[in-house]
Amino acid sequence: MNRLKVALILAFFLIAVLPLGAMVYISNAVYTSIIHKEVGNSLSAIADHKLTRWQDFEQQQRQRIRIISRSAVLKRSIADLRQETDRKDSVEPMPSTSSRIVGNIVREIKSADGFHGFYLIDVNGVILYQDQHRDAVGQSLYEGRYHGGGLQHLFDRALNSFEPVMSPFVEDVDEPGRFSFYIAAPIMSGPNVAAIIVKQFDNRELINIARDYTGIGESGEIVFAKLHEGSALLMAPLRHVEGASYKKRIELNGQWAKPVREALAGRSGVEPSFDYRQRPVLAAWHPIESAGIGMVVKIDAEEAYSQLHAHRRDILLLLAVAIVFVGLAGFFLSQAIIQPINRMVIAARKITLGDLAQTVPNSRWYELAQLGRALNAMLAHLRETISSVEADLWYKDSMTKLSEVLSADQSSQLLAKHVIRVLAEQLNAQAGTLYGCMADHLELLSHYGMGEAPELAPTLSAQQGLIGQALQDKKVIAINADGEDSVRIMIRSGSQKTAANSLMIIPLLYHGQIIAVVELAWLGGAHTRATELMEYSSESICLALIAAEQRLQVQNMLEQSQADAEELRRQQEELRVAKEETERQARELEAASQYKSEFLANMSHELRTPLNSLLILARSLVDNEEGHLADDEVESATVIYESGKHLLGLINDILDISKVESGKMQLNIETISIEDMLLSIQSRFEHMAKEKGCDFILAADPDVPSHVQTDGAKLNQILINLIGNAIKFTDSGSVALGLRCSDKKNGQAHLHFSVEDTGIGIPEDKLQNIFQAFQQVDGSISRVYGGTGLGLSIARKLAQVLDGDISVSSVMNQGSCFTLDIPMNEPPASENNMITQEHDSQKDNMNHIKDGHKDDRYVLDPSKPLLLIVEDDDSFSTMLLDVCHQQHCQAIIAEDGEAGIALAEQFPVQGVILDYMLPGIDGCDVLAALKSNAATQDLPVHVFTAMDGLSDLQIMGAVGKSLKPLSVSSIKNVIDRLVNPQRNALTMLVVEDDHATFLALTRLLKMEGVCLRQARSGREAVNLLRSESFDGVILDLGLPDTNGFDLLLQLEGDESTVLPPVIVYTAQDLSIEEQDKLGRFTQQIVIKSDDSAQRMLDEVQTFASLVCRSNEIEQEQKRSQAEACPESPVSSFDSMPSDNEGSNGASGLEGRVVLLVDDDMRNTFALAKVLRKKGVVVHLAPGGEEALRLLEEEDDIELVLMDIMMPQMDGYEATRRIRVSKELEDLPIIALTANAMKGDREKCLQAGANDYLSKPVDIDRLQDRMKRCLSC
């Protein structure tokens, strides 16, 4: 308890002293801030006052010299003084009257103004009068000692000003070592300047200001300084240093120099600093720009903050008193709390030793009293719990013994004998009987403790005695005899009989029906838990008795079945006759459908055969194995190939419907795995849902069987159609596939597949029509999602082939739910066991690989390359799997090295991505194991690591390594090199004049197997391309003899040079126009970066991969476009001329600029290519909104070709918006549509189009219409 006592005292101390200390600290901080602010403001105000005093002095002197310059006496004296100056060189010069007059005036005003000297200077710069130095009279300011000085500069300013002007402090030419400032004013004679008067002031006023110490205490000083010869020269005396004027200097790089340096730099401020005595001070400073000096007002910090130090002493004294008081209070209060707790601890120790009768004493403290009451309540509950546990153990022991008896295969009599024995032993009963309940009576099955008593009747009436009463009431009847009265049940013990004192009759019920009756008797009182035990065991006993009775009935039925066998043989003969009749009818039905079958066969041949030939030939053109086709011709072939595939899909859909309707659709019933099917669906649609921005959810009930027998291909096709539709019409939210089992209908269980989405929904009046062929919810031209309307029709017909059906429910703008209901046929038990064993064997072979990985191991496609990912980071391995899918590869994942080695042997992987840091064995050991195994030694392995400096991986056999973290592009390059290792051997020309950049590229690409050659100029690059062959060119736009744009144009026009794929590698930012110019040659433009070596490696790897896969990139782009618009129409430009036709003759459209608006990229590509062959400059827009944006940005577009059927904004709306703009109201627009319906032309013209053409477009007609529109 001493620890608790100390803790309480510390707690009191912390609770009381810490807040007080915090308050003291905060108040001191606030007070300190206030004092600092007040002292700073006060000092700043004093500095402002001194500055104002100087400014007032300046203003006063300006006013006074203005008055003097207007003196008529001075004006009249100028001519005489000029003549006197001219006679200065005579032998006996005589002062003129004007000179004496001016001298009198000067002496009079000097006594009032206190200036140091006075000058009268004519407009030519000749000094006419000077009161201090007579030898200055007659000297010119542009010659001698005054030339280039401050007086000359002031004189020049005064000549051009009608107001007084002032100079900063400058060194006095007549008195070296002293500094003065001057104020000058012009003497006007009419509109002209007759002369300039100048008053010279020394530092007298600065001294007066500096010696005014009002408000700065005993240590304060005012410092005036001027920048002179690289240091600050003091212009007034100091309080603590004698003779400082013009003598003491302050170096501007010293600790004290900041206030002076800031003031001389023209800035004001206030802050703590150190002075020339190295004492801390608070300083405020201002520049006096007109005088060319700085002013600093300072006071010692000790004097400035003296009030703050006294305040701190008072606060610390208060804090010490509070600490002493809190310590004493905590000691006495903790003592009062610890004593009752000690008493509770003693009681708790006794309870620990098993003394549950112990009670905890109460305390006078309310909380401790509550604790004591809670402990006493806990003791009571503990006693009840122990009693309850003992009872549960007894019940479990009794039920265990009963279960051993009930589980045996035995007759009803033997079962009853064992049951009544166990019940009597567990309940300490001395006698008992068990009667079975028949239709109208009770039959004695067995008894216990009664011998062969004659009073035991083998049967009893259902209404007889207490047993009959218990049967009627279906309740337990208990009888206890008092005194000498006894229940008349005789209990035998050897030759003796004893009457029982207690009796209990228990009916055994199962689902409300009485199966048997148990009668138990005791010599003493009945067992207290007899009723509860019988309630627990009643149902089990009844089930065992029923099972025994059913086994007897089965035996009887077996005997009956043998008797029925002869009857079955007779019926088989009748079935044979019926079968022959059925076969005859089937032959007649087959003959009736012969014409339809022949039509389907002809349709399949006539459509698919030429289309298949078209696809094969187009594919060969796309592959361009002979290299005879140009890049744009390969692109054309790719469009033909993709369009043909789309058309073939439509034909297959139509033929599928025809097959179902004609009854030719064959079923292939097989055992399929539900788990494998769901994994395949998830792998197929999860990434599609992510691309649409929605979630894809799988939910299967646990009671769904693992395998079912059905046509797996057709079931998969139905689900693909339903889920594909759901994702297509869902832009946000989720698409969920649910699977559950239903209750048996007509003796057959069913599987329910539900596809629920949160998409646009279906109107109620369209719900039934959507399953009809070629029916769509939205058939208008503005529909966003496209499609032929065959998917749902095929799905329903396939479901009906599987003896199932599809239903739908939907709410507009909330979503739809399609439900597939098919019969559930589970495989036979023997086959199911074999499947389970095979599945378990596969799991064992996985070497403890987690099932949670959603990789491709269960859905492998032999046509796609397979990679092994050995990575223990779940998030990173999932990202690698996604990138593999983007690269059209498959992947399996292992979380440790042991699993990775096993999977490499088990699966036909083409490469391995290996993490170096793994649990268990690390990446180095895994790599060694793979290379030492003959089955895996040739696998390419790429290592990912977060450790720098790993140098032995390549020696051990790794094809490369990458340092984490990695970009997605780097991962794609690694995957590409593993899948296609033969593509690494590249020879590339680097056109770069910087040799350091070339060496960096060489080092970075060394691990990638790329050979580089350098050309330092454009001329050298042309010579190398003429004499050697390269896979690609890495081009810098800035070259010593030319630029990259001109070099590309030169190479393109050189017939002796073949220009390989180009990657622009430049440090300059490219404008849109420059990017368009480069677009003729390449789309691979990379900006040089100096972020890090890893960044440079990522970029260069991307260059190499792009060069190696230039043709594949175009194919992947077409494939991604097709996936994004799966229902987009086939290119309608069937009548386009060939390239040769397009190039013959002048089209009359050369140089014209056209905007082509179409959402189908295949149509866009085909038409744009033909127009460009004719010299037309084509801009592309994939939709109406993009077209409007391009028209705002590009002002040279002369004509618009507008597709009408587009998503989001159709051609009508886009045309109307163009016509609203005043700048575009006269822009020619030709509408293109594939509908060709009546009224389309009028609708296009009403929307604002100038002309109309239907698809497929005739190029000659289009060319004529374009010429007509452009000539108007």
> Given this model, what pLDDT does residue 1138 score?
37
Q: Which tokens go with 470?
A: 């218990």
CATH architecture of the region 1153-1270: 3-Layer(aba) Sandwich (3.40)
CB-based burial, 566-575: b 16+ in 10 Å, e otherwise: eeeeeeeeee
> Given this model, what pLDDT does residue 1090 score?
37
DSSP per-residue letters across 2-39: HHHHHHHHHHHHHHHHHHHHHHHHHHHHHHHHHHHHHH
Is the pLDDT confidence value at 799 over 80? yes
- Average pLDDT value for residue range 5-29: 74
Q: If you search the block for the tokens 């900006």, which residue do you land on?
A: 1087
The rounded distance, in Å, linking the Cα atoms of 1042 and 1029 is 22
- Average pLDDT value for residue range 1156-1168: 71
- Condensed to tens digits (0 to 9), the pLDDT of residues 54-97 reads 999 999 989 999 988 888 888 888 888 887 777 665 544 556 67
Closest CA to 635 of 1178, 1166, 1139: 1166
- Condensed to tens digits (0 to 9), the pLDDT of residues 865-900 reads 999 999 888 878 888 998 899 888 999 999 888 999
> Given this model, what pLDDT does residue 1108 score?
46
Is the pLDDT confidence value at 807 over 50? yes
pLDDT level of residue 592 (50, 70, 90 thresholds): low
Q: Which CATH number fits domain 397-558: 3.30.450.40, 2.60.40.10, 2.60.40.420, 3.60.21.10?
A: 3.30.450.40
CA atoms within 13 A on the CB side of 438: 11
- Condensed to tens digits (0 to 9), the pLDDT of residues 289-323 reads 989 999 999 888 887 777 777 777 777 888 788 77
Q: If you search the block for the tokens 């009403």, which residue do you land on?
A: 1246
pLDDT level of residue 599 (50, 70, 90 thresholds): low
Phi-psi category of 815—alpha, beta or left, where left has phi over 0 and alpha has psi -120 to 50? left
Is the pLDDT confidence value at 657 over 70? no
Which residues pair with residue 1027 across a beta bridge?
Answer: none
Q: Estimate the crossing angle of helix 1211-1220 against helix 1240-1247, to 10 degrees.
A: 30
> Cα–chain-centroid distance for residue 435?
74
DSSP per-residue letters across 1128-1190: PPPP--TTPPPHHHHHSS--S-TT-EEEEE-S-HHHHHHHHHHHHHTT-EEEEESSHHHHHHH
CATH architecture of the region 46-302: 2-Layer Sandwich (3.30)
Q: Which tokens go with 138?
A: 């007659």
pLDDT level of residue 852 (50, 70, 90 thresholds): very low
Q: Are 942 and 958 in contact (CB under 8 A)?
A: yes
- Condensed to tens digits (0 to 9), the pLDDT of residues 1241-1257 reads 788 888 999 988 877 67
Which residues pair with residue 671 across a beta bridge?
Answer: 709
Better-predicted residue by pLDDT, 67 or 835: 67
> Given this model, what pLDDT does residue 850 score?
41
The rounded distance, in Å, linking the Cα atoms of 163 and 169 is 20
Q: If you search the block for the tokens 């009431």, which residue do you land on?
A: 473
Q: Are 126 and 112 in contact (CB under 8 A)?
A: no
Which DSSP letter does residue 370 get? H
Q: What percent of the chain has pLDDT over 70?
A: 77
- Average pLDDT value for residue range 398-423: 85
> Given this model, what pLDDT does residue 956 score?
63
Better-predicted residue by pLDDT, 613 or 946: 946
pLDDT level of residue 646 (50, 70, 90 thresholds): low
Is the pLDDT confidence value at 168 over 90? yes
Q: Which tokens go with 556?
A: 């009887």
| CA dihedral for 891, 893, 898, 903, sign (positive or negative) | negative
- Average pLDDT value for residue range 757-769: 82
How far are the Cα atoms of 306, 505, 543, 699, 1051 from residue 513, in angstroms, in the given order? 103, 16, 12, 40, 100
| CA dihedral for 308, 312, 313, 314, sign (positive or negative) | positive
- Average pLDDT value for residue range 586-597: 63
Better-predicted residue by pLDDT, 362 or 1120: 362
Q: Which tokens go with 499?
A: 């009457």
The CATH superfamily holding the domain 866-899+916-978 is Response regulator (3.40.50.2300)
The CATH number of 666-675+684-714+721-778+788-823 is 3.30.565.10
Closest CA to 724 of 811, 813, 785, 653: 785
Is the pLDDT confidence value at 1107 over 50? no
Which residues pair with residue 751 across a beta bridge?
Answer: 741, 822
The rounded distance, in Å, linking the Cα atoms of 784 and 464 is 83
Q: Are 752 and 740 in contact (CB under 8 A)?
A: yes
Which residues pair with residue 868 across a beta bridge?
Answer: 892, 912
Range with the poorest average pLDDT among 342-346, 922-926, 1264-1268: 342-346
- Average pLDDT value for residue range 1196-1222: 89
Q: Which tokens go with 1143?
A: 């190039």
Q: If you search the block for the tokens 């350091």, which residue do you land on?
A: 996
The rounded distance, in Å, linking the Cα atoms of 849 and 874 is 13
pLDDT level of residue 1101 (50, 70, 90 thresholds): low
Q: Read off the amino acid at residue 318.
A: L
The rounded distance, in Å, linking the Cα atoms of 491 and 428 is 13
How many separate helices (H) and strands (E) can be counted in the chain?
Answer: 35, 42
- Condensed to tens digits (0 to 9), the pLDDT of residues 484-512 reads 545 556 665 544 567 778 888 999 888 88
> Cα–chain-centroid distance for residue 1028?
48
Is the pLDDT confidence value at 669 over 70? yes
- Average pLDDT value for residue range 1137-1158: 65
- Condensed to tens digits (0 to 9), the pLDDT of residues 1040-1069 reads 888 888 888 888 777 667 677 777 776 565
Which DSSP letter does residue 1043 get? B
The rounded distance, in Å, linking the Cα atoms of 603 and 597 is 10
- Rg (C-alpha) for the chain, rounded Å, is 54
Domain map of the chain by residue range? Answer: 46-302, 397-558, 606-662, 666-675+684-714+721-778+788-823, 866-899+916-978, 986-1105, 1153-1270
Q: If you search the block for the tokens 């003549």, which residue do you land on?
A: 83
Q: Estimate the crossing angle of helix 530-592 against helix 366-406, to 10 degrees.
A: 60
| CA dihedral for 232, 233, 238, 240, sign (positive or negative) | positive
Better-predicted residue by pLDDT, 833 or 521: 521
The rounded distance, in Å, linking the Cα atoms of 386 and 392 is 10
The rounded distance, in Å, linking the Cα atoms of 429 and 424 is 5
- Condensed to tens digits (0 to 9), the pLDDT of residues 1001-1043 reads 675 566 556 778 889 998 898 888 877 777 778 888 778 888 8
Cite the beta strand spans of 60-212 per DSSP E: 117-122, 127-130, 165-166, 170-171, 179-189, 192-201
Q: Which tokens go with 879?
A: 């990202």
- Average pLDDT value for residue range 317-335: 76
> Given this model, what pLDDT does residue 223 score?
92
Beta strand 815-823 pairing with 748-757: antiparallel
Average of per-residue pLDDT values in the chain: 77
- Average pLDDT value for residue range 621-635: 72
Same fold, 46-302 and 866-899+916-978: no
Better-predicted residue by pLDDT, 226 or 638: 226
How far are the Cα atoms of 809, 991, 1018, 1110 from residue 1037, in angstroms, in the given order? 62, 9, 10, 21
Range with the poorest average pLDDT among 656-670, 707-721, 988-1002: 656-670
Report the greatest alpha carbon distance in the chain. Answer: 186
pLDDT level of residue 1217 (50, 70, 90 thresholds): very high
Report the residue count for the chain.
Answer: 1272
The rounded distance, in Å, linking the Cα atoms of 36 and 42 is 10
- Average pLDDT value for residue range 274-287: 88
Is the pLDDT confidence value at 439 over 90? no
pLDDT level of residue 1213 (50, 70, 90 thresholds): very high
Q: Which tokens go with 1097?
A: 């490696």
Better-predicted residue by pLDDT, 1160 or 1183: 1183
Q: What percent of the chain has pLDDT over 90?
A: 10
Q: Are 260 and 222 in contact (CB under 8 A)?
A: no
Is the pLDDT confidence value at 483 over 60? no
Fold for 986-1105, please state it. Rossmann fold (3.40.50)
> Given this model, what pLDDT does residue 275 score?
84
- Average pLDDT value for residue range 592-617: 53
Q: Read off the amino acid at residue 1217.
A: R
Phi, psi angle pair for 284, to nearest 5°: -125, 140
Is the pLDDT confidence value at 1119 over 50? no
Closest CA to 293 of 211, 239, 235: 235
